[in-house]
Amino acid sequence: MKRKNIRDVAREANVSISTVSHALNETRYVKEETKQKIKKIAKKLNYRPSAIAKGLRKKSINTVAIFVANIESQFFSKVTMGINKIANANNYHTIMVNTFYDEDEEEKIIESLRNQFIDGAIFVSGLNNVDCIKKLDEEKFPFVLVTRKINDRYPSILIDNMKAMEETIDYLANFGHRKIGYLTMDYQNRQTVTERFLGYKKGLKKNKLGYDSSIVLIGENKMIDEMKKGYILVRETFRNKEAPTAMIAATDNLAAGAYTAFKELDLKIPQDISIVGFDNLPMSRFLDPPLTTIKQPKEKLGSCAMEMLIKLIRSEEIRQNIQILDTAITERGSVTYPSK
Amino acid sequence: MKRKNIRDVAREANVSISTVSHALNETRYVKEETKQKIKKIAKKLNYRPSAIAKGLRKKSINTVAIFVANIESQFFSKVTMGINKIANANNYHTIMVNTFYDEDEEEKIIESLRNQFIDGAIFVSGLNNVDCIKKLDEEKFPFVLVTRKINDRYPSILIDNMKAMEETIDYLANFGHRKIGYLTMDYQNRQTVTERFLGYKKGLKKNKLGYDSSIVLIGENKMIDEMKKGYILVRETFRNKEAPTAMIAATDNLAAGAYTAFKELDLKIPQDISIVGFDNLPMSRFLDPPLTTIKQPKEKLGSCAMEMLIKLIRSEEIRQNIQILDTAITERGSVTYPSK
DNA sequence: CGTTTCGTAGAAAACGTTTCCTAGAAATCG
DNA sequence: CGATTTCTAGGAAACGTTTTCTACGAAACG
């Protein structure tokens, strides 16, 4: 049983193709009687207009791509949810591309998607693959960056990582902490992580605290499992060395790993060591003790991005290219006054 | 600057459209010299063949849909990763549909995607929306179910939830536990959860342990946050009632919530209460103590599904419609002998 | 030297829509 | 009653490919 097309409907209804199209899409007046007849027949034949043919004519199949580095991270999945909600509401489909932090892969896929197939793209965090983005811009291909800024012109939805980190140092300093360690990864190609690190340094300076490289733990890029990385780094580093009184982790996942390590080292959280995370992942509330962490509006990041992208696609004016959403420290149980 | 099409290339190269097509796709012999010239010109003009036009002609744009209930869950995201890997390797794009466990929504989207736009679909877990799937089958639309079985004929990639649960009871019984509680949710429309519950009951019977409804905690469907649900259920139930010596949670997320509650109730894990989870989510290893849990091959579920789907799309023969992958108990620190 | 094969490539159909252009019949107007 | 407007709707172009059909000149063959 072959798939029916618009011609089949037209024939069966004894009208022209254009009438069928207009009747079904309500794009011009068709006599009520005829319209009903056409609709009935379309239903009877189980007619489904070909989105591809329509796309060819309309030069769009209402689809955008989402580039995420690693969908497994709950940060990315939350952002994706925000994107999808707005997309659905506006009849856009989303194609998910998981780059696994691989630049070549990313570039290859961008290339392949640019075959006039996709109306726009959202890059969530991800890499510093600037060239690729530049090319897109030159071709006036609509895109939005999330949590990633290249210049003041490219549309971006951001949070202020530096400021958030600075405030975290303020926060810890207010508790009386003077030795504040840092736990991060060496993703040279990931902006957020870099910015947070800069914020840490700036915060130290602002609070007149010296930078002490011996309590700054940086994991190499190889290992993808952040929790494990945090665990190993902390365990190895503070096995024979005194730990600071507070530790900031660049992500909640790193913090979770650190929790396990500190417990193994018989350091009580928060009595012996205060910990602050970043991201406010769902599990952070259920760590023991609940993790104090920096909350960012993950879903909002996604929805704002998609809203902006739609405007770009429709060539509507956008008020501001760069939108910065608020972060906030979520106080839970992993921070207290230093014991000494 | 208008987008170039194949005609532009042909004109510039002084050859016919078909020659350009053949040269670029290597679909028939074209004189080497001509071919190089065409390729050079195509590059110069920044020509990108329209995937949509190609799709119209070829009746496919190499795209499949993934239906997941909630991408935020790391189970789903892992499965998605498995799917994407195989998809990428085979030049398929994937469209992500997040149903948020909403049947109507799901159905609506399936409808809209069936516009000859999509070559097939993978349904990951999700709902018991049988009608919809049946319709797809009747229309010979290729699909694969993951972690969800409707009948012996529909292609499915499964794990044996019942068996896994039974084995878990065996495992706990071997430790000497006689009072084994259960923590689950009342998702009537979600198969996995139902099957696990059945497995629990069957395991009890097999080990000659009575079913005691007072230690079976069932959360209502409303609250989506499983961790929170686990937390509240355990806390409320065992506030004034004696807890069992062991507790099985239908998911790691529920277990994580239970951890917090038991700690609040001053029950030590595993000394006072042994806990077993299900899913082996990344965080389970970093709970305190590390959670003993049932591992399922999440990525493998996805990759097997996509491999099967590709075969279905290509109308290749598939050896078995139903594939059952192995689960295994991952022993960590949350189970020990009962203290009394 | 006529016929077949080979190397090369163009013309046009087809994919299934949307939409522009055109137009007849009926109704309204002056 | 002729001119204009209003309903109603058909024909065909266009979207950008792939692919089938066709063909021409040159080389090989007998």
- Nucleotide of closest approach to A31 (CA, C1'): D8
pLDDT surpasses 90 at A299: yes
Q: How confident is the model at residue A1 (pLDDT cuts 50, 70, 90)?
A: low
Nearest of B166, B151, B121, B162 to residue B139 by alpha carbon:
B121
Q: Please write the tens of the pLDDT for every residue from B131-143.
A: 889 989 988 899 9
pLDDT at A118: 92
The mean of the pLDDT values for chain A is 92
Ranges A34-43, B1-10, B34-43, B159-168: which has the least confidence: B1-10
Q: Looking at residues B187-209, what average pLDDT do you find?
A: 91
Beta carbons of A80 and B96 less than 8 Å apart: yes
Instruction: Please say whether the beta carbons of A6 and A49 come within 8 A.
Output: yes
Rg (CA), chain A: 26
User: What sign does the dihedral A164-A165-A170-A176 (CA atoms) show?
Assistant: positive
Q: Looking at residues B223-242, what average pLDDT do you find?
A: 91
pLDDT at B221: 74
- B143 touching chain A per CB within 8 A: no
pLDDT at A228: 92
pLDDT surpasses 70 at B145: yes
pLDDT surpasses 90 at B152: yes
- Chain B: nearest CA to A42, how far in angstroms? 13
Ranges A10-24, A64-78, A102-116: which has the least confidence: A102-116
pLDDT at B335: 98
Distance in Å from C21's C1' to A253's CA comes to: 63
pLDDT at B186: 85
Q: How confident is the model at residue A168 (pLDDT cuts 50, 70, 90)?
A: very high
Distance in Å from D7's C1' to A31's CA comes to: 9
pLDDT surpasses 70 at B223: no
pLDDT at B188: 63
- In chain B, residues 206-225 whose CB comes closer than 8 Å to chain A: 225
Nearest of A326, A179, A196 to residue A252 by alpha carbon:
A196
Question: What dihedral do alpha carbons B42, B46, B50, B51 form, nearest 10°?
Answer: 100
Q: How confident is the model at residue B334 (pLDDT cuts 50, 70, 90)?
A: very high
Residues close to nucleic acid strand C (C-beta < 7 A): A 3, 5-7, 17-18, 21-22, 24-25, 27, 47-50, 53-54, 56-58; B 14-19, 28-31, 34, 53, 56-57, 59, 116
Q: Give the burial string for B171-203 (b: 16+ CB within 10 Å, else e).
A: bbbeeebebbbbbbbebeebbbbbbbbebbbeb
pLDDT at A296: 96
- A337 touching chain B per CB within 8 A: no
Phi, psi dihedral angles at A223 (to 5 degrees): -85, 125
pLDDT at A70: 84
Q: Please write the tens of the pLDDT for every residue from B48-94.
A: 999 999 999 999 999 999 998 888 888 999 999 999 999 999 999 99
Ranges A46-50, A102-106, A225-229, A292-296: which has the least confidence: A102-106
Cis peptide before B49 (omega within 30 of 0): no
Residue of A106 and B42 predicted with greater confidence: B42
Strand-pair partners of A181: A247
The residue whose CA lies nearest the C1' of nucleotide D16 is B53
Q: Which domains does chain B have, with CATH numbers?
A: 6-49 (1.10.260.40), 62-159+298-326 (3.40.50.2300), 161-296 (3.40.50.2300)
pLDDT surpasses 80 at B101: no
Chain C, protein-covered positions (CB within 7 A): 7-20
pLDDT at A317: 86
Ranges A56-65, A78-87, A159-168, A221-230: which has the least confidence: A221-230
